[in-house]
Copies of this chain bind each other. A is one copy, B any other.
Amino acid sequence: MDGVLPPRIPVSAVDGRRPRAPVMMDVARLAGVSHQTVSRVVNSHANVRAETRQRVLDAMRELNYQPNSAARTLVTRRSNTIGIVTVDSTLFGPASMVYGVEQAARAAGYFVSVASINTLTQRAVRDAVSRLEEQSVEGIVGVVPHDEAVHALVAVPSGVITVAVGVGSGAAVPFVGVDNVAGAVVATRHLLAQGHRTVHHIGGPVGYPDARERRQGWRRALTEAGAPTPDALTGDWSARSGYDLGRVLAADRAVTAVFCGNDQMALGLLRALFESGRRIPADVSVVGFDDVPEAAYMIPPLSTVKQDFTEMGRLSIDLFVRMLGRPPGSDPVRILLTPTLIPRVSSRSAA
């Protein structure tokens, strides 16, 4: 990140294998015009006679001409590319958001460059951002659901518009997220409505806005209902942690309802409950969060709070485009989606 580039494979290794691609001048010659006119056609400028335009288009096709984006970027100072910084991109949520970003970015005429990080440190995020900047990206979409990472994101030099997605609802950058509090409230109330005295919670790890907000919502719903608030358990989003913590809950006969911070942990919990002989939902009701594709096929089908990750990714590009049109210092726009409860068997009333 100090400007010194890493060593690279020598040019000689690639040289010669690449037949020089046709350039604008080649097209111009073939069409009998100047390269400038070709440029106009390529960029859909007005002021080109229809017939000339056609000749140029024919020439382009014949030569299989492809504009050189490096040259274009150099002179316009517009790279036409958006960068994505992502963590945990193998998980369904992040992967879906990245997918949504990519689709929308393409539709908006942008290339997409990704930089994934594997440690959740500010430094890692800064490095990723730095690499993206080196490519002169015009915007950065952060799919980084962690406080540290978001903090690093707000520190991005102002030349690049930065938006975040799936980072809770309190970020200091423009973002699109889901209303975690509302989602957790709905889930908890739903459980309470089945007649449970209270609802336990297995939440995500410290430092994750999503985890914090869901815990908040859960606690709020309990308080509002006048139900006792048990200690929340803290997992790490994995099925393993859901299982481990689930064994603790399963051992406690007072536990009759559990709201999990995500579906993976709920999966682990379901197994822990199953193994200890507790019937679901007869003895214990469970609700997850996310609605991963597998949720409907767990044993039993998992009630959960659905969020549309792909759509969120798409919206982040809308957001980016919107920020593009705003004067530099203006307030960050926020888009907050409301998640929906998907009731399935795991929380069905025992009655």
Using CB atoms and an 8 Å cutoff, list the residues of chain A in contact with chain B: 2-9, 11, 13-14, 17-19, 21, 41-44, 57, 60-61, 65-71, 73-74, 76-81, 89-92, 95-96, 98-99, 102-103, 106, 109, 111-116, 118, 130-131, 133-136, 138, 158-159, 238-240, 242-243, 264, 267-268, 270-271, 274, 293-294, 296-299, 301, 309-310, 321, 324-325, 328
Contact A41 to B271, CB < 8 A, known contacts A9-B321, A14-B78, A299-B299: no
CB contacts (< 8 Å) of A111 on chain B: these are: 113, 131, 134-135
CA distance A57 to B1 in the complex (A): 12
Partner of A42, one of B5, B73, B102, B298: B5
CA distance A351 to B118 in the complex (A): 44
Q: Tell me whether A67 and B134 are in contact in the complex, defined as CB-CB below 8 angstroms, given that A2-B57, A159-B19, A299-B271 are known contacts.
A: yes
**CB-CB < 8 A to A274: which residues of B?**
299
B102 touches A95 (CB 8 A): no
Interface pair B297/A267, CB less than 8 Å apart = yes
CB atoms of A13 and B296 under 8 A apart: no
The answer to whether A74 and B71 have CB atoms under 8 Å apart is: yes
CB nearest neighbor in B for A321? B9
Query: Can you list 12 residue pairs at the A/B interface with Cβ under 8 Å?
Result: A3-B66, A5-B42, A18-B159, A19-B159, A69-B134, A89-B99, A106-B131, A112-B115, A113-B113, A240-B297, A271-B298, A294-B294
Q: Does the CB pair A3–B60 fall under 8 Å? A: yes
Residue of A41, A138, A267 with highest tally of chain B CB at under 10 A? A267
Q: Which of B3, B96, B267, B324 contacts A13 (CB 8 A)?
A: B324
CA distance A71 to B4 in the complex (A): 15
What's the nearest-Cβ distance from chain B to residue A92, in Å? 6
Contact between B116 and A7, CB atoms less than 8 A apart? no
A235, B175: Cα distance in complex, Å? 38
* Known pairs A66-B134, A90-B310 / 15 extra A-B pairs, C-beta < 8 Å: A3-B61, A4-B41, A4-B42, A4-B44, A9-B321, A9-B324, A14-B78, A69-B135, A81-B113, A89-B99, A103-B116, A103-B118, A106-B115, A113-B113, A239-B296
Q: Which of B68, B80, B131, B297 contacts A271 (CB 8 A)?
A: B297
Whether A95 touches B106, Cβ cut-off 8 Å, given contacts A42-B5, A138-B14, A321-B9, is no
Docked pose: A242 CA to B267 CA in angstroms: 18
Chain B residues contacting A328 (CB-CB under 8 Å) are 17
**Closest 8 A/B residue pairs (Cβ):** A239-B297, A70-B73, A95-B95, A6-B109, A18-B159, A3-B60, A70-B74, A90-B96
C-alpha spacing A67/B19, complex, angstroms: 27
Q: A109-B6, A159-B21 are in contact. Are A68 and B74 (CB under 8 A)?
A: yes
Q: What's the least CB distance linking A311 to chain B, in Å? A: 12
Query: Are B95 and A90 in contact (CB-based, < 8 A)?
Result: yes
Given A13-B325, A116-B99, A159-B17: A74 touches B76 (CB 8 Å cut-off): no
With CB as the reference atom, state the residue of chain B lying closest to A74: B70
B contact residues around A267 at 8 Å (CB): 294, 297-298
Shortest CB distance A5–B (Å): 6
A70 contacts B136, CB within 8 Å?
yes
When distances are taken between beta carbons in the complex, the residues of chain B under 8 Å from A114 are: 102, 112-114
A294 touching B95 by the CB < 8 A rule? no
A131 partner residues in chain B, CB cutoff 8 A = 106, 111
